[in-house]
Structure 1
Amino acid sequence: SNFYTKVSSPILSEIKLHFTGGIKINKLFPKNLPDVFEGSSITIFGKFDKTGSSKIILEGKVNGKTEKFNYQVKFVENTDNDFIAPLWAARNVGYLLDQIRMNGESKEVVDEIVQLAKKYGIITPYTSYLILEDEEINISTRRLAPENRIFTGRFYDEDEFKSRSKEEYSNLNKKSGRSGVVSSNEVQSLRGAKNLADQNQGSSRMAYYDKSKVKRDLSQQTKNIGGRAFYQNGNEWVDLYVQTNKSQTAKRIQFAGKSYFDLLNKHPEVSQYLSLGKNVRFIHKNKLYEIYE
């Protein structure tokens, strides 16, 4: 069949990428590049340390013979493609969760998952448990002001949600059974994320009741704007970056008031944040703003 013909003979195998020009590329995903078959393609995500020109050398075997293909490229800052960083982060988180599945938990891996998941809004049954724990610790040790939290304080029964999330997280260690298969499939989907919807693995299990006993969906209360995550807590949207604010007092601006439009005129780029609603806390140019009704 045509399918067998395609998959039996890759047009490029044993693929390797090399980068020259003094630009360091790291955290490439997928880690192991698959063979390329006729009509197929590979999407690769990675981080570069600085802008500039570089040569990419694509090496692989064609009909058993090693071939090299050279491409001259420029690495530039591009804010028009805000979806790229969250997709890279999703693949990274998937890879790290898979490391926990195979090798067990370590503080270094957990810390990196929490940092990436919070920054890019990768909310799953597994990451939500780690974020909850991290936030509770930071609040109890006064490293995080309660008004800047993104997860805790929203639940009618926080212990119930945390217990449920903890059980989901523990499923990562199961090698068999339905829950083990589900967690494995979801982690692999994160590792191979192709669009932003792939970030929300397990979203059907992220329901909870808020303080007013209204049913909510935690996976739907996150938005990625300008490459960073905003979280809805009650009627307020909170920029993750406010958690880096240690002592700065927020500049409070009433929604649709004179100062509100003055802010828009002076910094039109903040309109993307203000479009979230009438109650928004965000950082812009190292200043903390609070929009309120």
Structure 2
Amino acid sequence: EILPKDGNMVRYLYHLNLAKYSTRPIKDLSVKMEIESEAGEIKSVYSPSHEVEIKRHGKQRVVVGLEEENLKPDSDLQLYYSLRGKDGGDVDVAAITHKEDEDESGYFTLLVSPGAWGADRVPMPKDVVFVFDSSGSMRGNKIEQAKKAMEFCVDSLNPGDRFEIVRFSTEAEPVFGNLTKANDKAKKRATKFLDSVRAIGGTAIEEALGTASEILAEKASKDRPAQIIFLTDGQPTIGAIKEDVIINGLQKELKETKAKIRVFCFGIGTNVNAHLLDKITDKTNAVSQYVLPEENIETKVSRFYSKISEPVLTGLEIKIKGPERVHKLYPKELPDLFKGDQVVVTGRYESGKKEATITLTGSMMGKDRTFSYKANFPKTNDDNDFIPRLWATRRVGYLLEEIRLRGEKKELKEEVARLARKYNIVTPYTSYLILEDEARDGVALNRRSHFGGLRDESGARFDAEAPADSAASEAFDSLIVAEKEEARKFSEEKSGESAVRGASSGSDLKNAKGLADLGKAVNSSYSSGPGLANGTIQSIIIGGKTFHRNGDLWIDDEARDDKDKEIKELEFGSKEYFDFLAANPKLCRWLSVGNKVDCLENGKIYRVR
């Protein structure tokens, strides 16, 4: 098989999508792929469709693995990798684009990767303060898991690093009182301190963050990345308890430091103030992580810290020259680049010059560095059709955070509803917006997105091809009431299960690197896996179109409202049907979704029965 190559980017597709034929999950799936290159160094390796494990063996060999249980077979396995010549730089930027129409904005994804960062290279020294909650609410498994997580982080420190540990409950208590070199003696002292900690007392978040900031500020340097890793399971009860007071105090401390300090927050359980943690990470360009009741603290914290333990390039900025305009880039502020990881940027572009110049700047080992790359931003490109959905996922995550932290606005809700429905991004909040939007537009009940999963009292599905009866209407009313309450909790509550799951799900959406993260976001937003509304929406995305399944009928999202639309009817399997497909090959991929399909194209609905 000859793999398609666009510039320096190579693409491989392994067919796993069986959604048109079966929704039964694959019980056990194991895939191993080996990439070897004689042409140059393998830099970016990326799967937009699945969460894969990437192991590098030198600069020219990579092994990619996928292990899944009960995998829903609704997407093919896609793999991209970029090649650089032997004279390539330390950091690579590769561009992937999608643009179906010359007159519409295109989509792009940039992969920023350090490639095979050799073991012989000295890691960039960093300063880090670990701050963890030892209040009374942490008793039992939580405090033991948190201590083990802290021990892992301490053990993973590099020789050039400096660190401190701050335990807090009713008051904050540092181990050393200042940043200390991460030598064996200091690590042993820190481990001994962790062993002695017991869970007791209140929750002095303001003092804990203030102590950590002061310790970092004393020795902070522009040449060294600075981090605070903050773990808590509760809300502030000692000292300042108002969000704005705590955040303003933290910002004041950080403003006076020479280095840019990132505060990574871990909320443990569902009693944390998710608004407070997310506002802290928003102000410091970091991320929040939430350890849900069904998750292990040690595992989640350790896995996250492993990704950020070795910075390669900090203070990243990207400029693109060539397209007439680039806009709506996510993330809005770029994170640091770490060894073994990559930064994924998505955005929109208007056509200009086909060849673009991408300039990446940042700091490496205390020195300013600039990297320049060539990339194509074509007027049309039908390939890489995952990009619009990935961009929409991040856009929805960003908008949901705006709604949650700063309040609902009509225009934000309308855009979330439109994107969520079009790209099948379903959480309790977006589900309600879709229901509300379709009701407002007067879409017939039997053509709405959720109709396919509704059941009558006997558990039977309603007939999607018959007008909805009173029983179907009552089922819809019950669904709307339930989802409206979930939406209220998401937008108004700062703590509790709905608030924390909403924050966790929103973070997954906002920081999604691939479509597998969308699945994680949906699952984490419900307390027992996908909830009622998510279970009622069965969808498939083909060639940029989303089809919702209502019984045996697949309805193009754009064809839900068929009032005043021209309709061309086709009998499935007839001579007219095949003659039509031969004359209109573009429609083949959409009409092949089933033997009962409604598809809108060029203002006309094609109805197959």
Specify if TM > 0.5.
Answer: yes
Among residues 338, 353, 370, which one is paired with 1:37 in the alignment?
A: 338
The aligned residue for residue 531 of structure 2 is 206
Q: Give the 5 Å matches for 1:169-188.
A: 169-172=487-490, 173-188=492-507
Letter in 2 for 1:23: E
- Residues 64 and 136 of structure 1, relative CA distance in 2, 3 Å threshold: same
Deviation at 1:107, TM superposition (A): 0.8
Letter in 2 for 1:217: G
2:559–2:600: 8 Å Cα contact kept in structure 1?
yes
The aligned residue for residue 56 of structure 1 is 358
1:68 equivalenced with 2:370 (yes/no)? yes
**Cα distance in 1 between the residues matched to 2:381 and 2:156:** 38
**Cα distance in 2 between the residues matched to 1:243 and 1:24:** 33
Q: Which runs of 5+ in 2 are unaligned?
A: 1-153, 159-305, 455-471, 524-528
Deviation digits for residues 164-214 of structure 1, max 9, x if unmatched? 211222232322122211111111111122332433433533336xxxxxx
**Cα distance in 2 between the residues matched to 1:8 and 1:197:** 24
Letter in 1 for 2:377: F
Deviation at 1:63, TM superposition (A): 2.0
Q: Which runs of 5+ in 1 are unaligned?
A: 209-215
RMSD across aligned positions (CA): 2.4
Q: Which moved more, 1:164-173 or 1:39-48?
A: 164-173
**Cα distance in 1 between the residues matched to 2:417 and 2:558:** 14
Q: Give the 5 Å matches for 1:1-293.
A: 3-5=156-158, 7=308, 10-50=311-351, 52-76=354-378, 77-139=380-442, 144=443, 149-151=448-450, 155=454, 156=472, 157-172=475-490, 173-200=492-519, 201-203=521-523, 204-207=529-532, 217-219=535-537, 221-243=538-560, 247-292=564-609
**Cα distance in 1 between the residues matched to 2:373 and 2:452:** 51
**Cα distance in 2 between the residues matched to 1:35 and 1:153:** 44
Letter in 2 for 1:35: D
Deviation at 1:222, TM superposition (A): 0.9
Deviation at 1:69, TM superposition (A): 1.0
Q: Aligned residues: percent identity?
A: 37
RCO higher in structure (CA 8 A, sep ≥6): 1
Q: Which moved more, 1:239-248 or 1:276-285?
A: 239-248
Deviation at 1:138, TM superposition (A): 0.9
2:323–2:377: 8 Å Cα contact kept in structure 1?
no
Q: Which moved more, 1:1-10 or 1:65-74?
A: 1-10
**Cα distance in 2 between the residues matched to 1:97 and 1:31:** 15
SS state at 1:100 partner? helix
Letter in 1 for 2:580: L
Deviation digits for residues 1-30 of structure 1, max 9, x if unmatched? 784338455221111111223531111111
Deviation at 1:147, TM superposition (A): 6.7
1:125–1:205: 8 Å Cα contact kept in structure 2?
no
1:235–1:279: 8 Å Cα contact kept in structure 2?
yes
Letter in 1 for 2:347: G
2:422–2:545: 8 Å Cα contact kept in structure 1?
yes
Q: Which moved more, 1:126-135 or 1:72-81?
A: 72-81
Deviation at 1:44, TM superposition (A): 0.9
2:361–2:370: 8 Å Cα contact kept in structure 1?
yes
Alignment size in residue pairs = 280
1:123–1:199: 8 Å Cα contact kept in structure 2?
no
**Cα distance in 1 between the residues matched to 2:568 and 2:357:** 47
1:174–1:180: 8 Å Cα contact kept in structure 2?
yes
TM-score by length of 2: 0.43
SS state at 2:405 partner? helix
1:186–1:202: 8 Å Cα contact kept in structure 2?
yes
Deviation digits for residues 40-64 of structure 1, max 9, x if unmatched? 2111111111252221111111122
1:82–1:227: 8 Å Cα contact kept in structure 2?
yes
